[in-house]
């Protein structure tokens, strides 16, 4: 809109500074993207291509990594393989060309499902509890509110893994080791402090008048909370949910320590692929690529809220 | 509609006394303005009537029923907030109908009552708009609509015009008063703007530091201020005080200020020697060379139809409202003639008005 000659405009940066800023942003974005692109490329390489030196930029793409990720294979003699008849799928064919046959499905899909259940479950719990607690702290005269809030924050002052051993022992006693419930409770406990603090900020910004108006209009406080406060807190809730989800989704240390079978999540499973059949980097890259998808989709869907969550507190109305 | 009766209402926040033992009655259908500077306890009083705050002590009656401890939703009142508190995730229609949904009114009836209310406020053309795009005046009307639609026992309004610009304010003041004349709802209206209070209210309660300084009609408040605070708060420019030391006896009809005898309404009270103040409204001062009460012109403000001339007297500046066509030189000596029948006397120590024949009229009126 501004038609002012930009030479002396105080709000509009000059053309040169714009160009410099743009190049820095683009350079940064490219540098951050390189590892992701490399992982994506590797997932479509054949195992020899993936470890060739110098690294190959151009290569013949193959689905072998994905095949290997979702299957377990056994080595067979070429006579046996020849006796099998025509391959039933691309994967079958690729596997046979390596003198192997598919023995069954791998554990990746169950591990991935565990990740989904645990990450979304704990996010839902942390955000629900966080919203209620934040509302309480924001609206009521809670005795020792400041101390309680500080205490809640202080649970994040040490790395969670510092309490790994006591939690490991407690979980063994309680029978929570290697259960989805145990992992959901653990991630909820870690995330709830973040959720309370973030959401308290968002709820503080919603004027009390809305609930007061609703209560005068004949609603109970609970009804006012659900009908008036919650709809206005959706931005904050979405931003908080993403933060919680990213933590629970990526968490590795506790997952390694507390899950080994039934409830194992994807992060501790992925490195075990390396051990199974030599250094199968394409399979690892394929696992990682698939693992990135849910967070990517969730983040793209809620990117506006996420941005507001990050810059939260910086802009006041 | 119902009468609101407040008895010895008191609210403390820790050591701070926000409202100190207030008592007043708003009659059925009456429009009361709670007027005072920010922090005087007017909003706290309103919130206690609404049930948004619990009083520390005292009682609140709505239509004869003691509602002191009732929840807000059980009181059947409507509240218009300063920032309107329109629910941003609902459109105009849903906002206005929201209180009816709580009462379990049928959808068809909600529809007809919302539309009837909208017609009354002339906002039926914006019913399906989002509230976030509305102009200030329309937001105000929607907030009023939400209050009117449920036909409550009374309306409570907390500076509802505070955020509107001056031009719109005048319009809304007129609309609010017209609305009140039409539906005769008992109304308590909180404001810090004396013009709003004067223009709309049947009764005004002037509050200061949690105390109701005076409760009366706009005319009583303006003409017979009970305290120096009220005299100073109401009127623009406010009442002038000419301070002097003297004692007073019943029946006295003249006081001496700076050695000049000034006729006053008959005093009805004995006062021991002390500092007193003679209160005079700017419009009750005329310039007259014959007067012995003299001062030097300090400056003047031109207001179009009239001008406010400040005159430096022995005990401070006195402002007079005089016709705009008179010309004065700064520093020129002028004589001041006061409208004797409209003077007030105050005891400076207590700040209270001294009883006089002028004030006695109030009790008969």
- The contacts of residue A55 (CB under 8 Å, 6+ apart) are none
- Top-confidence residue, B114 or A81: B114
- Top-confidence residue, A305 or A58: A58
Please state the CATH superfamily assignment of the domain spanning residues B235-364 in this structure.
Answer: Nucleic acid-binding proteins (2.40.50.140)
CA distance B103 to chain A (A): 7
CA distance A261 to chain B (A): 46
Domain count, chain A: 3
Examine residue A94 and state whether it is found in any structural domain, yes or no.
yes
Residues A205 and A101 in one domain: no
Q: Do B103 and A207 touch (CB under 8 A)?
A: no
Length of chain B: 365
Q: Is B4 helix (H, G, I), strand (E, B) or coil?
A: strand
Residues B127, B219: Cα–Cα separation, whole Å: 40
Place of tokens 């030599």: A278
ipTM: 0.81
Residue A175 has which token pair? 């029978």
The rounded mean pLDDT for chain A is: 87
Q: What percent of chain A has pLDDT over 90?
A: 51
Nearest to B50 among A216, A218, A219 (CB): A216
Residues A60 and A184 in one domain: no
Residues A63 and A148 in one domain: no
CB B259 within 8 A of CB B242: no
Residue A116 has which token pair? 């989904």
Residues A255 and A142 in one domain: yes
Q: Distances in Å between the alpha carbon of B156 and those of A1, B48, B68, B168?
A: 44, 11, 16, 21
Residues 98-127 in B contacting A (C-alpha not used; CB under 8 Å): 98-99, 102-103
Residues A221, A199: Cα–Cα separation, whole Å: 18
Residue B352 has which token pair? 């209270």
Residue of B nearest to A232 (CA): B89
Amino acid A57: pLDDT: 85
Domain B4-223 has CATH 3.40.50.300: yes
Examine residue A281 and state whether it is found in any structural domain, yes or no.
no
Amino acid B362: pLDDT: 53
CB A293 within 8 A of CB A299: no
Residues 40-99 in B contacting A (C-alpha not used; CB under 8 Å): 50-52, 71-73, 75, 77-79, 81-83, 85, 87-89, 98-99
Nearest to A215 among B73, B81, B83 (CB): B73
Residues A181 and A123 in one domain: yes
Residue stretches of chain B with pLDDT short of 50: 364-365
CB pairs A-B closer than 8 Å: 55
Q: Is B348 helix (H, G, I), strand (E, B) or coil?
A: coil
Examine residue A1 and state whether it is found in any structural domain, yes or no.
no
Residue B90 has which token pair? 């609902």
Q: Find, among B33, B22, B21, B24, the residue nearest to B4 by Cα.
A: B24
A76-85, A302-311, B146-155, B225-234, range with the lowest pLDDT: A302-311
Domain ranges for chain B: 4-223, 235-364
Amino acid A317: pLDDT: 37
Q: Is B217 helix (H, G, I), strand (E, B) or coil?
A: coil
Amino acid A2: pLDDT: 45
Amino acid A7: pLDDT: 53
Residues B324, A170: Cα–Cα separation, whole Å: 89
Nearest to A217 among B82, B88, B99 (CB): B99
Give the DSSP letter string of B78-101. EEE-TTTT--TTSBHHHHHHHHHH
Place of tokens 């983040």: A299
Residues A82, B150: Cα–Cα separation, whole Å: 85
Residue of B nearest to A215 (CA): B73
Which residues of chain B are within 8 Å of residue A231 when distances are taken between CB atoms? 87, 89
Residue of A nearest to B85 (CA): A210
Which residues of chain A are within 8 Å of residue B14 when distances are taken between CB atoms? none
- Top-confidence residue, A117 or A99: A117
Amino acid B361: pLDDT: 66
Residues A194 and A165 in one domain: yes
Residue B181 has which token pair? 């004349």
pLDDT tens digits along A210-224: 999 999 999 999 999
Give the DSSP letter string of A274-285. HHHSS--HHHHH
Q: Find, among B46, B63, B51, the residue nearest to B1 by Cα.
A: B63
Residues A142 and A102 in one domain: no
Q: Do A212 and B79 touch (CB under 8 A)?
A: yes
Residues A155 and A33 in one domain: no
CA distance A223 to chain B (A): 9
pLDDT(A4) > 70: no
pLDDT(A316) > 60: no
Residue B6's DSSP bridge partners are: B24, B60
**Mutation for B interface: A213, A215, A220, A227, most B CBs within 10 A:** A213
Examine residue A316 and state whether it is found in any structural domain, yes or no.
no
Give the DSSP letter string of B25-70. EE-TT-EEEEE--TTSSHHHHHHHHHTSS--SEEEEEETTEE-TT-
Nearest to A213 among B79, B88, B103 (CB): B79
Q: Is B19 helix (H, G, I), strand (E, B) or coil?
A: strand
pLDDT tens digits along A264-299: 999 999 988 876 556 789 999 999 999 999 988 988
Outline where chain B has alpha helix (H). 42-50, 92-102, 107-121, 136-148, 166-183, 194-200, 218-223, 228-233, 357-364
Which residues of chain B are within 8 Å of residue A218 when distances are taken between CB atoms? 73, 99, 102-103, 150
Residues A232 and A301 in one domain: yes
Q: Find, among B61, B45, B62, B31, the residue nearest to B218 by Cα.
A: B31
Amino acid B79: pLDDT: 93
Q: Which of A106, A125, A147 is the last residue of a domain?
A: A106
Amino acid A310: pLDDT: 59
Q: Do B85 and A210 touch (CB under 8 A)?
A: yes
pLDDT tens digits along A158-213: 888 888 899 999 999 999 999 999 999 999 999 999 999 999 998 998 888 899 99
Examine residue A9 and state whether it is found in any structural domain, yes or no.
no
Which residues of chain A are within 8 Å of residue B73 when distances are taken between CB atoms? 215-220
Instruction: Please report, for the domain that includes residue A161, its CATH number.
Output: 1.10.3720.10
pLDDT tens digits along B259-290: 888 999 999 989 899 999 999 999 999 998 88
Residues A142 and A154 in one domain: yes
- The contacts of residue B180 (CB under 8 Å, 6+ apart) are B31, B187, B200
Amino acid B107: pLDDT: 94
Residues A25 and A63 in one domain: no
Amino acid B364: pLDDT: 45
Examine residue A7 and state whether it is found in any structural domain, yes or no.
no
- Top-confidence residue, A40 or A316: A40
Please report which confidence band the pLDDT of residue A136 belongs to, taking 50, 70 and 90 as the band edges: very high
pLDDT(A148) > 70: yes
Nearest to A220 among B73, B88, B103 (CB): B73
Domain that holds residue A61: 47-106
Interface of A with B (CB under 8 A): 207, 209-210, 212-220, 223, 228, 231-232
Residue A33 has which token pair? 């993207």
Please report which confidence band the pLDDT of residue A1 belongs to, taking 50, 70 and 90 as the band edges: very low
Q: Do A217 and B51 touch (CB under 8 A)?
A: no
Which residues of chain B are within 8 Å of residue A233 when distances are taken between CB atoms? none
Examine residue A168 and state whether it is found in any structural domain, yes or no.
yes
Asked whether the bond before B296 is cis by omega within 30 degrees of 0, the reply is no
Residues B36, B42: Cα–Cα separation, whole Å: 7
* DSSP summary character for residue A56: P
Residues B285, B305: Cα–Cα separation, whole Å: 16
């Amino acid at each position: 809109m501004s038609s002012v000659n930009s030479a002396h405009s105080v709000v509009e940066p000059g053309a040169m500074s714009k160009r410099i800023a743009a190049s820095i942003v683009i350079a940064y974005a490219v540098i951050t993207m390189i590892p992701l692109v490399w992982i994506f490329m590797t997932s479509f390489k054949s195992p020899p291509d993936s470890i060739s030196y110098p690294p190959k930029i151009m290569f013949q793409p193959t689905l072998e990594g994905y095949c290997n990720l979702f299957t377990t294979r056994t080595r067979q003699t070429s006579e046996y393989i020849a006796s099998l008849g025509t391959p039933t799928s691309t994967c079958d064919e690729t596997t046979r060309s390596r003198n192997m046959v598919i023995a069954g499905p791998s554990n990746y899909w169950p591990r991935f499902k565990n990740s989904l259940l645990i990450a979304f479950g704990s996010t839902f719990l942390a955000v629900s509890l966080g919203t209620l607690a934040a509302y309480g702290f924001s609206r009521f005269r809670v005795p020792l509110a400041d101390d309680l809030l500080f205490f809640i924050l202080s649970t994040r002052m040490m790395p969670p893994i510092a309490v790994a051993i006591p939690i490991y022992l407690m979980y063994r006693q309680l029978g929570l080791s290697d259960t989805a419930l145990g992992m959901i409770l653990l991630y909820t406990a870690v995330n709830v402090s973040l959720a309370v603090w973030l959401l308290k900020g968002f709820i503080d910004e919603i004027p009390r008048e809305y609930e007061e108006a609703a209560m005068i209009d004949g609603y109970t406080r609970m009804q006012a909370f659900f009908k008036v406060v919650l709809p206005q807190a959706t931005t904050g809730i979405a931003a908080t949910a993403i933060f919680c989800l990213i933590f629970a989704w990526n968490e590795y240390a506790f997952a390694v320590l507390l899950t080994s079978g039934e409830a194992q999540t994807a992060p501790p499973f992925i490195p075990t692929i390396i051990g199974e059949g030599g250094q199968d980097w394409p399979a690892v890259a394929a696992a990682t690529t698939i693992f990135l998808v849910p967070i990517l989709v969730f983040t793209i869907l809620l990117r506006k809220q996420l941005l507001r969550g990050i810059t939260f507190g910086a802009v006041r109305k | 509609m119902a009468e609101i009766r407040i008895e010895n209402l008191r609210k403390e926040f820790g050591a701070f006394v926000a409202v100190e033992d207030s008592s007043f009655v708003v009659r059925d259908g009456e429009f009361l303005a709670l007027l005072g500077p920010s922090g005087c306890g007017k909003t706290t009083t309103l919130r206690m009537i609404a049930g948004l705050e619990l009083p520390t002590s005292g009682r609140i009656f709505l239509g004869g029923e003691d509602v002191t401890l009732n929840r807000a939703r059980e009181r059947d009142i409507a509240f218009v907030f300063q920032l309107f508190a329109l629910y941003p995730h609902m459109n105009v229609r849903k906002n206005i109908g929201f209180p009816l949904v709580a009462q379990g009114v049928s959808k068809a009836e909600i529809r007809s009552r919302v539309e009837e209310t909208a017609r009354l406020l002339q906002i039926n053309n914006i019913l399906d708009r989002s509230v976030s795009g509305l102009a200030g005046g329309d937001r105000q009307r929607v907030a009023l609509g939400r209050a009117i639609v449920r036909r409550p026992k009374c309306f409570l309004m907390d500076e509802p015009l505070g955020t509107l610009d001056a031009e719109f304010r005048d319009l809304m003041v007129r609309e609010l008063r017209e609305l009140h004349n039409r539906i005769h709802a008992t109304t308590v209206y909180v404001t810090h703007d004396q013009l709003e209070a004067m223009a709309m209210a049947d009764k005004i309660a002037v509050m200061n530091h949690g105390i109701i300084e005076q409760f009366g009609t706009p005319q009583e408040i303006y003409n017979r201020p009970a305290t120096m605070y009220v005299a100073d708060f109401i009127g623009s420019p406010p009442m002038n005080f000419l301070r002097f030391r003297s004692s007073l006896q019943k029946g006295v009809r003249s006081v001496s200020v700076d050695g000049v005898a000034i006729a006053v309404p008959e005093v009805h009270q004995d006062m021991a020697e002390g500092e007193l103040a003679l209160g005079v409204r700017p419009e009750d001062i005329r310039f007259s060379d014959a007067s012995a009460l003299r001062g030097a012109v300090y400056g003047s403000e031109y207001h179009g139809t009239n001008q406010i001339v400040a005159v430096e007297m022995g005990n401070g500046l006195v402002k007079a409202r005089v016709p705009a066509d008179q010309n004065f030189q700064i520093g020129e000596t002028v004589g001041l003639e006061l409208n004797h029948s409209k003077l007030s006397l105050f005891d400076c120590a207590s700040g209270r008005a001294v009883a006089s024949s002028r004030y006695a009229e109030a009790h008969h009126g």
